[in-house]
Structure 1
């Protein structure tokens, strides 16, 4: 299921410092379940995603 982000998800993105991500793909279908999963696994104290296979950090090189 894809569609616009819910206001709750947009708030989480803003609180985590990723507010601009809510605007990416406007007019495109985004997987809200995928975005929700990443939000749930984001750890702001370490700036990493905790995934089942390890810990990941996004760097400027990745962007």
Structure 2
């Protein structure tokens, strides 16, 4: 479910994002891609804030 949602969002990204120079789906404000570890840290942070009790798995 998560992967299909990500693919849907990526395929329907609005054109203004491309004009701003966005290249990566997960991109820093410096236009650099996040590493796998960086994305996991972001997911961990926001899943804790959302009160999720199950771990987010990457597969």
Q: TM-score, normalised by structure 1?
A: 0.30
Larger relative CO (CA 8 A, sep 6+): 1 or 2?
1
Q: Which has the larger radius of gyration?
A: 2
Higher strand share: 1
